[in-house]
Structure 1
Amino acid sequence: MKKEEKIIVGISVGDLNGIGPEIIIKTYEDPRSLELSTPVIFASGKVMQFFKNHFNSKINFFNIDSPEDVVHGKVNVVNVWREPVKIEFGKEDKKIGEYSIRSLEAATKALKEDKIDVLVTAPINKHNIQSDKFNFPGHTDYLAQALNGKSLMFMVCDGLRVGLLTDHVPLKDAADRINEALIEEKLDTVITSLKQDFGIRKPKIAVLGINPHAGDSGVIGSEDDDVLRPTLAKIRDQGHLVYGPYSADSFFGSNTFKNFDAIIASYHDQGLIPFKTISFGEGVNYTAGLSKVRTSPDHGTAYEIAGKGIADETSFKRAIYTAIQIYKNRKEYKYFSRNPLKKVSK
């Protein structure tokens, strides 16, 4: 039986030829990491033993057949498969991609069934996971469908939070996808997340322009004036503190971002380049808008250093701590939403 006082963190193992298993092992080599939560790794005992031996780790894994068999105080490994797996560090391998998806699907199933409390995903290779059965650009879109949510990629690091109107789409298509309905949907997701997941009662949000200099009054594109500005004005009229569009080129360098609880970028690199420049190695990718909590580190498989024992686990650790904190914040938000008189005004 699951103990309510101990948060169970499900972990999908990611690409086995990348650094995922290494950063998982490094995170849980410190026994103090088991004080906050109980980990459940979805992989196989054999493959995790291989990584333990390769990295000369003293970590002890506890093999179980189902997340229902979890033992607190142990680093649990659910045997999603039992056959041996050939590991070739740094190599993109279609078969390895299949194992990463098997791990993800098993972990997601456990999350949906409340057998784990939160999900933390190690990095996958977005190319070798593609198949007739799995046709998603990454974790975010898969989880949105699996959990019937409207997801938003939310990069967080301390007080810096960057969300995206469009995420893993080609740049040439990004502007065409930004319309009133999308902007309203994403801003609603951000506002809700800031309140229930981060405890911010009246969030203040900045939105970056679609075009250079936010269009320069139509000189460099009309999308900002025709689509973005009127939609943001409509959202402000509803009582939300939403501002912009701001010119993206100077927004972060001038430290203007520090005046807001979240920044919404129009497309992937507009938001993630400054975010990772400011916080690389310490940031967390959080999927806002879902009924369950999912986080991941802010980096990829890092094939170039896989197997060398030099991967930095900081971002993965932070992903775990962030998932735990958001889970607690959500429980508190739900409690005080049902019992408003018990909340003490700040």
Structure 2
Amino acid sequence: MSEKLKIGISIGDVNGVGLEVIIKTLADSRIFDYCTPIVYGHTKVASFHRRTVQVHDLNFNVIDSPANAHHKKANIINCWEEDVKIELGAANETGGKYAFLSLQRATDDLISGHIDALVTAPINKDNIQNEEFNFPGHTEYLQQRDNSPEVLMFLVSDTLRVGVVTGHIPVAQVAQSITAEKILAKLKLMNTSLKQDFWIRKPKIAVLGLNPHAGDNGLIGNEEKDIIMPALEEARANGILALGPYPADGFFANGAYMQFDAVLAMYHDQGLIPFKQISFESGVNYTAGLSFVRTSPDHGTAYDIAGKNKASEVSFREALFQAIHIVKHRRETAVLNENPLQFSKLSRDRD
């Protein structure tokens, strides 16, 4: 097995379930066989949550840099010095302040190459806002930090992968924000990610319509004919196998999504509602298009169950493993691009 990857973990809102699912995941020592986890937060905050969820056999190894991480332990970097008043289930300024400090430090190390990937626990997109974080969410913040011109919010699981053309914007702005150029850009990102990050050689992508019944030949809107279909034709001309547009309701209801490697939805809820219905326990939010790898669980802060020991760690654990797999796939792809003769050796060595 090659050297284990260092996976950074930002703790999210300290009043939510982020640290609960992190602790439950890292309490399984088998995790250390696959990666070296580094949590960005504070030992006192972590200890508070550890007692709350009654996990007694997990001890954090305190370090000041990823270079000092212990490869068989859960490591933690203290990102602040002061004591924090935790109010489980409360959406307040404290939760946002320390979520940002954790995210900022982790992103700094990610961009500097000190960690190999980042898994982000859920934030409250309202209380995290400040002079340095004026974004709708993680995706846009990381895009700005990476100076990336285009990214794709990509929800992935074993049974379904869904990306969206428009992300965290009001529904009233969706139609005017959709252009053929934007659809084509997202399709290119999705196609590249499926090949590079998921090792799908010839991706087959379904594209959903914007309007009910995919416009019904113009009876319920012209976006399908005027915008989406020309984008699909251009995508196919560029060697991307993109089909549609499909009516969203029937497409998911009759299981048509199982015939495709990924689905491109036009807006947030059109894609995420069916995804979470189908893959909620194991779904992962992946940001495609960045120069680095970032994943997260597909749930939020869950204030209503914070501190009640009810949060499932399955999605967070999947996000951690997905980050590991994607980093390895990217590195193997880079090797193959340099020397295609290495393919058979890499295939044997993969774990």
TM-score (norm 1): 0.97
Residues of 2 paired with 1:4 and 1:156: CA distance?
25
Superposed, 1:24-35 pairs within 5 Å as 24-35=22-33
> SS of 1:328's equivalent?
helix
Q: Paired residue for 1:318? A: 318
Q: Paired residue for 2:178? A: 178
Per-residue CA deviation, residues 163-221 of structure 1 (Å, 9 max, x unaligned), is 00001111111111111221111111101100000001111101000111111111111
Per-residue CA deviation, residues 70-93 of structure 1 (Å, 9 max, x unaligned), is 111111110111211000000011
Residues of 2 paired with 1:15 and 1:75: CA distance?
20
Per-residue CA deviation, residues 35-87 of structure 1 (Å, 9 max, x unaligned), is 11011000011211222223222210111122222111111110111211000
Residues of 2 paired with 1:162 and 1:276: CA distance?
10
Residues of 2 paired with 1:77 and 1:46: CA distance?
11
Q: Paired residue for 1:51? A: 49
Q: Paired residue for 1:62? A: 61
Is contact 2:188-2:240 (8 Å) kept? no
Q: Which runs of 5+ in 2 are unaligned?
A: none
> SS of 1:245's equivalent?
strand
Residues of 2 paired with 1:234 and 1:53: CA distance?
56
Displacement, 1:153? 0.6
Residues of 1 paired with 2:245 and 2:95: CA distance?
43
Is contact 1:159-1:261 (8 Å) kept? no
Per-residue CA deviation, residues 101-125 of structure 1 (Å, 9 max, x unaligned), is 1100100010011111010000000
Is 1:329 paired with 2:333?
Answer: no
Residues of 1 paired with 2:129 and 2:223: CA distance?
33
TM-score (norm 2): 0.95
* More moved, 336-345 vs 207-216: 336-345
Q: Paired residue for 1:283? A: 283
Q: One-letter code of the match for 1:333? A: T
Superposed, 1:170-249 pairs within 5 Å as 170-249=170-249
Per-residue CA deviation, residues 204-257 of structure 1 (Å, 9 max, x unaligned), is 101000111111111111111101101111111222211111111100111111
Is contact 1:111-1:117 (8 Å) kept? yes
Residues of 2 paired with 1:161 and 1:329: CA distance?
17
Residues of 1 paired with 2:169 and 2:86: CA distance?
31
Q: Paired residue for 1:104? A: 103
Residues of 1 paired with 2:240 and 2:115: CA distance?
34
Q: One-letter code of the match for 2:186? A: K
Is contact 1:46-1:82 (8 Å) kept? no
Q: One-letter code of the match for 2:10? A: S
> SS of 1:207's equivalent?
strand
Residues of 1 paired with 2:28 and 2:44: CA distance?
21
Residues of 1 paired with 2:228 and 2:51: CA distance?
54
Q: One-letter code of the match for 2:5? A: I
Q: Paired residue for 1:129? A: 128
Residues of 2 paired with 1:256 and 1:92: CA distance?
39
> SS of 1:252's equivalent?
helix
Residues of 2 paired with 1:192 and 1:244: CA distance?
19
> SS of 1:343's equivalent?
helix
Residues of 2 paired with 1:276 and 1:324: CA distance?
22
> SS of 2:253's equivalent?
coil
Q: Paired residue for 1:119? A: 118
Per-residue CA deviation, residues 296-334 of structure 1 (Å, 9 max, x unaligned), is 001000000000111100000000011101111111111
* More moved, 189-198 vs 148-157: 148-157
> SS of 2:318's equivalent?
helix
Residues of 2 paired with 1:308 and 1:31: CA distance?
23
Q: Paired residue for 2:160? A: 160
Is contact 1:11-1:121 (8 Å) kept? yes
Structure 1 stretches of 4+ with a deviation exceeding 4 A read none
RMSD: 1.5
Displacement, 1:4? 6.5
Q: Paired residue for 2:268? A: 268
Displacement, 1:341? 3.3
Q: One-letter code of the match for 1:324? A: I
Displacement, 1:344? 4.7
Percent of aligned positions that are identical: 53
Is 1:40 paired with 2:34?
Answer: no
Q: Which runs of 5+ in 1 are unaligned?
A: none
Give the paired residue count: 344
Residues of 1 paired with 2:47 and 2:16: CA distance?
16
Per-residue CA deviation, residues 138-160 of structure 1 (Å, 9 max, x unaligned), is 00000011112221110001141
Q: One-letter code of the match for 1:80? A: C
Is contact 2:184-2:234 (8 Å) kept? no
Is contact 1:214-1:246 (8 Å) kept? yes
